[in-house]
Amino acid sequence: MSRARIAVVGAGWFARLAAIPALVAHPDADLVAVCDTDEARVRDTAQEYGVAHTFTSVADLVDADVADGVVVAVSQTAHYDVCAQALSAGLHVLVEKPMVLTAEHAWQLVDLARAGDRILMVGETFHYPSVSRRVREIVQSGRLGRLLQIAGTFNSHTAPLFAGGSAMPDGRGGGYADPALAGGGQGHTQISHLAGLAFWTTGEAVTEVFGYLDNAGLRVDLVDAIVARLAGGGSLALSATGTMPEGHPPRNRLEYYGSDGVLIHDLGKASASLALPREPAQTFELAEGEPGYPVQAPAREFVDLITGRTSDNSAPGDTAARSVELLDAAYRSAAAGAPVPVGARGLER
HEC letters along 110-165: HHHHHHHCCCEEEECHHHCCHHHHHHHHHHHHCCCCCEEEEEEEEECCCHHHHCCC
* Torsion sign over Cα 6, 10, 12, 15: negative
* Predicted local confidence at residue 169, as pLDDT: 84
Residue 172 has pLDDT above 60, yes or no: yes
- Per DSSP, 45 falls in state H
Q: In CATH, which of 3.30.360.10, 3.40.50.300, 2.60.260.20, 3.40.50.880 is domain 126-291+314-347?
A: 3.30.360.10
* Predicted local confidence at residue 224, as pLDDT: 98
User: What is the CATH number that goes with domain 4-125?
Assistant: 3.40.50.720
Alpha carbon dihedral 243, 248, 253, 255, in 10-degree steps, equals -100
Residue 43 has pLDDT above 90, yes or no: yes
The answer to whether 315 and 121 are in contact (CB under 8 A) is yes
In whole angstroms, give the CA distance from residue 102 to residue 82.
15
Residue 348 has pLDDT above 90, yes or no: no
Percent of the chain whose pLDDT exceeds 90: 95
Per-residue pLDDT band for 317 (boundaries 50, 70, 90) equals very high
* Predicted local confidence at residue 28, as pLDDT: 98
The answer to whether 16 and 33 are in contact (CB under 8 A) is no
Residue 345 has pLDDT above 50, yes or no: yes
Over residues 219-276, the pLDDT tens digits come to 999 999 999 999 999 999 999 999 999 999 999 999 999 999 999 999 999 999 999 9
pTM: 0.97
Residue 346 has pLDDT above 70, yes or no: no
The answer to whether 122 and 209 are in contact (CB under 8 A) is no
Over residues 93-136, the pLDDT tens digits come to 999 999 999 999 999 999 999 999 999 999 999 999 999 999 99
* Predicted local confidence at residue 343, as pLDDT: 82
Contacts of 221 (CB under 8 A, 6+ apart): 184, 185, 186, 187, 213, 214, 215, 334
Percent helix / strand / coil, the chain, rounded to 5: 40, 25, 40
Per-residue pLDDT band for 349 (boundaries 50, 70, 90) equals very low
Over residues 265-276, the pLDDT tens digits come to 999 999 999 999
Q: How do the domains of the chain map onto residue ranges? A: 4-125, 126-291+314-347
The answer to whether 252 and 272 are in contact (CB under 8 A) is no
* Predicted local confidence at residue 302, as pLDDT: 98
Per-residue pLDDT, averaged over 189-206, amounts to 98
* Predicted local confidence at residue 171, as pLDDT: 84
